[in-house]
């Protein structure tokens, strides 16, 4: 594992595609990502 001090943060994004719009699992994943982003993770 490369120490965080030796590289820029890795940014990841997520989008909800049309086929997954009614998926509870997809919505839960996006909600999870939002919470982690707000807490700086």
CA dist 20 and 29 (Å) reads: 11
Tell me how far apart the alpha carbons of residues 35 and 1 are, in angstroms, rounded to a whole number. Answer: 25
H/E stretch holding 13: none
pLDDT of residue 13: 84
User: What does the alpha-carbon distance between residue 7 and residue 23 come to, in Å, rounded to a whole number?
Assistant: 35
pTM over 0.85: no
- 10-residue averages of pLDDT along the chain (41 residues): 91 90 94 75 58
Phi, psi of 24 (to 5 degrees): -65, -35
Provide the pLDDT for residue 38: 66
Residue whose pair of structure tokens reads 């997954």 in the numeric block: 20
Q: Per-domain residue ranges for the chain?
A: 4-38
């Amino acid at each position: 594992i490369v120490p965080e001090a030796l590289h820029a943060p890795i940014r990841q994004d997520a989008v909800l595609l049309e086929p997954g719009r009614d998926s509870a699992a997809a919505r839960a994943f996006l909600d999870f990502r939002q919470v982690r982003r707000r807490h700086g993770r």
